[in-house]
Amino acid sequence: MNVFIADQIPQEALEILKKNGLTFEMYQGEKLIDKKTLIEKVADVEYLITPLSTQVDQEVIDAAPKLKLIANFGAGTNNIDTDYAAQKKIPVTNTPYVSAISTAEVTISLILALMHRVVEGDALMRTEGFNGWAPLFFLGHQLAKKAVGIIGLGQIGQEVAKRLHAFDMEILYTQRHQAPSELEEKLGAKYVSKDELLKRSDIVTLHIPATKETTHYLGEREFKLMKDSAILVNAARGQVIDEQLLPEMLENKEIAGVALDVYEKEPLVSDELKKMSNVILTPHVGNATVEARDDMAQIVAENVSAMAAGQSAKYIVNSVDA
């Protein structure tokens, strides 16, 4: 066996591996693979394909002395000790870009659902129902003329901006460096400071990676800067907000609503958030579309195949000395 695949992935990847003469085993468990099993399975393999939900730390890497590549099935790589892999001369790859549209669409759906109270309405109709249309009944808010603050104008942030621009919204964004003026013009986006974005935005949406620098990028100080009528959407990584503060912020009406697709202690989520009607919770489905997952499968399989053929892999995220 050349390749171990730590979770079930689309058939397209398996066909590519077979075509290139690679033998593989794919984990078939209903739950995520446990660390003990992962260590046993990588003991004699050259290539590991792993989902971003599986931790590949020093112990796992040391258990695989023949390992030549870790191909992460996901855009983020915070589940892998990339620095240690580099020390062991093992490149780590990811699957960037191809999930941007799907994640942007999920972000838009969460924004619309919060602003128009779609989930609340569905719950109402499945329980006591309603008495009929009335002028002041169940009011939400339209997106037109509102300001959206996009934290991180990378591939996903750009796709979000493009779509919300069509809703006639003011597009604000912040990140470490200002984007090129031609991109700003194309998206109708204005670069502002973090604090200005939080103060002015009716909707704040996060699209930054999980790093030491971005951990709790939004905390109590930042929540208090937001409008009390603003909503917060996170389809990036759970660690970028201080999630445990959200129930208090919502109860005190510091912010008006929250939609989360990712969680700080994923897959766990607090019981307090589950009980709140102005909170929408989805199970990390940002890129859970057939199209995105097929594209991701193609990338990991082609990277493994390239390395096996003595060629370079695409999208290496760690610096491996020759």
pLDDT in tens, 242-252: 999 999 999 99
State the virtual CA torsion across 273, 120, 254, 195 in degrees, nearest 10: 100
Active-site residue identified among 105, 284, 293, 302: 284
- Alpha-carbon distance of 133 to 111, in angstroms, equals 24
pLDDT in tens, 185-221: 999 999 999 999 999 999 999 999 989 999 999 999 9
| 251 has catalytic annotation | no
> Any alpha helices (H) in the chain, and if so which ranges?
11-19, 35-41, 58-62, 82-87, 100-115, 118-125, 155-165, 181-187, 194-200, 220-225, 246-251, 271-274, 290-308
Name the pTM for this structure: 0.92
| 177 has catalytic annotation | no
Active-site residue identified among 237, 243, 254, 293: 237
Active-site residue identified among 12, 170, 266, 272: 266
| 105 has catalytic annotation | no
pLDDT in tens, 245-279: 999 999 999 999 999 999 999 999 999 999 999 99
Neighbours of 248 (CB within 10 A): 12
* Tokens linked to 33: 């693979």
Mean pLDDT of 32-48: 97
Judged against a pLDDT cut of 70, whether residue 95 lies above it is answered with yes
